[in-house]
Structure 1
Amino acid sequence: MSSRLEEFIRNHKEEFDDKETSDKVWANISKGLEKDKKAPVPMWNWTWRVAAVFFFLTSSWFAVEKVMQYKETGGNEVAVSEEYKEFVEADHYYTTLISQKKQEIEDFRLANSDLEEEFLQDVEKLDSMYMDLKKELKSFQYNEKLMDAVIRNLQLRVEILNQQISLLQRIRQKKAQEETVSI
């Protein structure tokens, strides 16, 4: 059927081409376009446009905020739980305490640098274990057992630092006694 239609159009092409629109039709079309340009836009039309822009901006803001929150938590909803908040508080407490203890040890400034070096090696081993546990904690999406292991590591570091400080205090006392005896 389509081949007969094509053949008919080819045969009667001149009959189709003789019909053109008059200039009057084109003049009416251009008048209508000019009238549309000059016509005031109703207030409700502007209201809908403003509402659409507001909705788009608000939606975009919420979407960006959700993506940022997802990146901060590592894609894990457990990260905002009470357990995680407690973990973060404990982690902050112990890391602050550890830095204070390290500073206290550095303040002793012993003549026996071998002893200080040995102290630092013990703490450095625990520091590296702590960093490894923190990496695992992020990759395993804040597993409760890993959080406990991190806290236990921090507690061990505090205990070791306390023992080192105690030992340093005893050494200091012994040196002070030796100096008083020799005087």
Structure 2
Amino acid sequence: MSKRLEDFISQNREEFDDLEPRADIWANIAKELDAFDEQHAQLPKKREAKTFSLGFVLKVAASVIVVMGIGFGIYLKTLKPANNGVDLADINPTYAKQQVHLVSVIETQKNELKQIAKFDPQLYEEFNGEITRMQSIYKKLNAELATSPNQERVLRAMIRNLQIQTEVLNQQLSVIQQFNDSKNQQHEKSI
């Protein structure tokens, strides 16, 4: 069959060559392409997602670590007078580390809690009142530490007080988060 097609084409070649495209066909195609490009240039471009390089992320992480280290060092320098001259590491190094960690966690959580004071001062006062009561107990234990015959037991009580403060702050922040989530859901449903 292909032999017959080739023979047909070779016998009728002149009839196939009599049709030629118009001279302005390429100019029309170029105009249409230019119009298409202009049309797409006028459309708003999609925003590309921002990505951060590994170097940038590492620099930010290093900066955060340095700032936290400086803050921790300053905190440790101010910690010794707060313990009435008693070095917690001399009593029990593990408890001393735990105490430092818990105090820093509590300070972070209290800062988060302070942010709601702008939006709901009454709730903040209620939550802050509970924490203030626990901190007054902690201060009493801290004052007792220097004169106590069983300093490790007082230190354990101080650590337990800090753990309870952390748990209460976690619960308070959780309540606030749940309240905000339900408020956002209600707002979305109303829209």
TM-score where L is the length of structure 1:
0.53
CA–CA distance in structure 2, aligned partners of residues 87 and 134 of structure 1: 14
> Aligned to 1:136, which of 128, 140, 144?
144
CA–CA distance in structure 1, aligned partners of residues 188 and 89 of structure 2: 58
Residues 111 and 89 (structure 1 numbering): CA distance in 2 closer, same or farther, change over 3 Å? same
Name 1:91's counterpart in structure 2. Answer: 99
> Aligned to 2:184, which of 158, 169, 176?
176
State the 1:73 CA deviation.
Answer: 4.5
1:154 aligns with 2:162: yes
Higher relative contact order (CA 8 A, sep 6+): 1
CA–CA distance in structure 2, aligned partners of residues 126 and 144 of structure 1: 20
Please provide the CA RMSD for this pair: 2.2
TM-score where L is the length of structure 2:
0.51
> Aligned to 2:135, which of 109, 112, 127?
127
Name 2:171's counterpart in structure 1. Answer: 163
Would the aligned equivalents of 2:85 and 2:146 in 1 still touch at CA under 8 Å?
no
CA–CA distance in structure 2, aligned partners of residues 108 and 164 of structure 1: 11
CA–CA distance in structure 2, aligned partners of residues 98 and 89 of structure 1: 14
Name 1:13's counterpart in structure 2. Answer: none
Structure 1 unpaired stretches of 5+: 1-70
Aligned residue-pair number:
108
CA–CA distance in structure 2, aligned partners of residues 169 and 95 of structure 1: 22
Higher helix share: 1
CA–CA distance in structure 2, aligned partners of residues 105 and 80 of structure 1: 30
Q: Which amino acid letter does the alignment assign opposite residue 184 of structure 2?
A: A
Structure 2 unpaired stretches of 5+: 1-83
CA–CA distance in structure 2, aligned partners of residues 73 and 113 of structure 1: 37
State the 1:90 CA deviation.
Answer: 1.2
CA–CA distance in structure 2, aligned partners of residues 80 and 121 of structure 1: 31
State the 1:87 CA deviation.
Answer: 2.1
> Aligned to 1:111, which of 100, 119, 137?
119
3-state SS of paired residue (1:139): coil
Residues 102 and 73 (structure 1 numbering): CA distance in 2 closer, same or farther, change over 3 Å? closer
Residues 113 and 73 (structure 1 numbering): CA distance in 2 closer, same or farther, change over 3 Å? closer
Would the aligned equivalents of 2:89 and 2:95 in 1 still touch at CA under 8 Å?
no
State the 1:108 CA deviation.
Answer: 3.6
Residues 124 and 72 (structure 1 numbering): CA distance in 2 closer, same or farther, change over 3 Å? closer
Identity percentage of aligned residues: 28
